[in-house]
A = this chain, B = another copy of it.
Amino acid sequence: MQPIQVGLLGLGTVGRGTWNVLRRNQEEIRRRAGRGIEIAMVGVRDVARARAFLGEGVRVTDRLQDVVTNPGLDIVVELMGGHEPARSLVMEAIHRDKHVVTANKALLATDGNEIFDAARTMGVMVAFEGAVAGGIPIIKALREGLTGNRIEWIAGIINGTSNFILTRMREQGLPFEAALAQAQALGYAEADPAFDVDGVDAAHKLAILAAIGFGVPIRFEAAHVEGIRHLSAIDIRYAEQLGYRVKLLAITRLVAKGLEMRVHPTLVPSQRLIANVEGAMNAVLVKGDAVGTTMYYGPGAGAEPTASAVVADLVDVTRMHTADPDDRVPHLAFQADSLVARPWLAIGDTVSSYYFRMRVADQPGVLADVARILADHRISIDALFQREPGEGERQADIILLTHEALERDVNDALGKIEHLPTVLAPVIRLRKESLA
């Protein structure tokens, strides 16, 4: 049988990785897929540069439109990233009856519902394993491996850049900026790191995971997003002394009132496996009512790890491209006609436990005032320690861990605490998750 014909859009890191993996492992891939997979056409901005990399025997064009309209291609792989022109090209490919493989989380987080609708109408597949957690087959695990479960929550370290920075901050006691500079020097962070360190990239991926886990449409805007830019090394150290590591967690949870979706720095008990995921690695915990807690760990980015996911999608599409669409796995795990819209909770309505650090005057009664305000707002204290002031110092740090409390109550309480004359600076507040 002739190899299935693939058009590739984009020849950056992941595009080159995909080309290399398909070439190097073509024999293993053919033995698995039952058919060869061949990139027959590549669309890029810089044709000369692409030709130098690709060599002879593959058609290269800078007219990206020509790739998605080429009737000789069965599948289009979109590895350009970003919204436009990726969005228009993907939609055009779908309308031209082509299957699509993409690793574009930003696109799916914002336009996924529309894209999947179009794909369903046309009877084509849009596969996107590479969009979340790089080489870890988390989409497959969640969408097909845990279908017997009611998913209760998903919590992941799904931005390697942030995790690398947090690891360096903890191991070397560095401030954020210094750790970021290391990440940039080593190629783990972009020159403009905002997407990674401000939590947006993690939120894109989380929005996809939440839809698949809970059978709801993708709704990126519902995510509460905080990054790691304002995190201090001192809080990482205090957390460690209390038996926690600070991770940028992406969390989505089904509770009685609706769905939570939030990305923020989080204290995680040090003995949890996920607390020990270091450097640029990713890990996703999934809690299902039948299976309990499972975890999926591996490289969350990079040329060949992401290519591994892209090629797995290509194999799936190759197997299923002539199949009855009803036999295929639904894009968002649940049949399109059985997606339900559940309410998304505002962050004020979520429940979490908390870490607070307060800079206070070293005088009697401060703690009593703080404890009273917390109690008045239904916030109970789990643990507390006070860093004694140094010689001649008149300020002390109070570190508090709370039991579970409503975020709105916490906001109210901290507002009052910050008005106490003995509280000398804004209260540092981090959330804490047991992940049990």
Contact = CB atoms under 8 A, between A and B. Distances in A.
Contact of A141 (B140, B273, B289, B299): B140
Contact of A312 (B144, B293, B334): B144
A298 B295 contact: yes
A145 B149 contact: no
Interface string A254-290: 0000000000000000000100110000000000111
A329 B29 CA distance: 13
A148 B18 CA distance: 9
Contact of A290 (B305, B326, B329): B305
Contacts of A33: 147
Contacts of A273: 273, 276-277, 297
A192 interface: no
A297 B138 CA distance: 12
B25 A289 contact: yes
Interface centre among A147, A288, A305, A310 (most CB of B within 10 A): A147
Contacts of A295: 295-298
A71 to B, nearest CB: 23
A74 to B, nearest CB: 14
Nearest to A275: B276
Interface stretch (A178-186, A317-325, A378-386): A317-325
B135 A290 contact: yes
B312 A145 contact: yes
A147 B330 CA distance: 20
Interface string A16-58: 0100011011001111111000000000000000000000000
Nearest to A288: B308
Contact of A147 (B298, B312, B328): B312
Contacts of A25: 148-150, 289-290
Nearest to A137: B145
A17 B296 CA distance: 24
A418 to B, nearest CB: 39
A117 interface: no
Nearest to A31: B338
B327 A28 contact: no
12 contacts: A25-B150, A31-B215, A32-B333, A33-B147, A135-B291, A137-B144, A144-B316, A148-B314, A273-B273, A291-B304, A292-B298, A327-B327
Given A135-B294, A149-B308, A320-B327, 13 more contacts: A31-B338, A135-B290, A146-B308, A148-B308, A148-B315, A291-B309, A293-B298, A294-B296, A294-B299, A295-B295, A295-B296, A319-B327, A327-B327
4 closest cross-chain pairs (CB), A and B: A137-B145, A148-B311, A294-B298, A135-B291
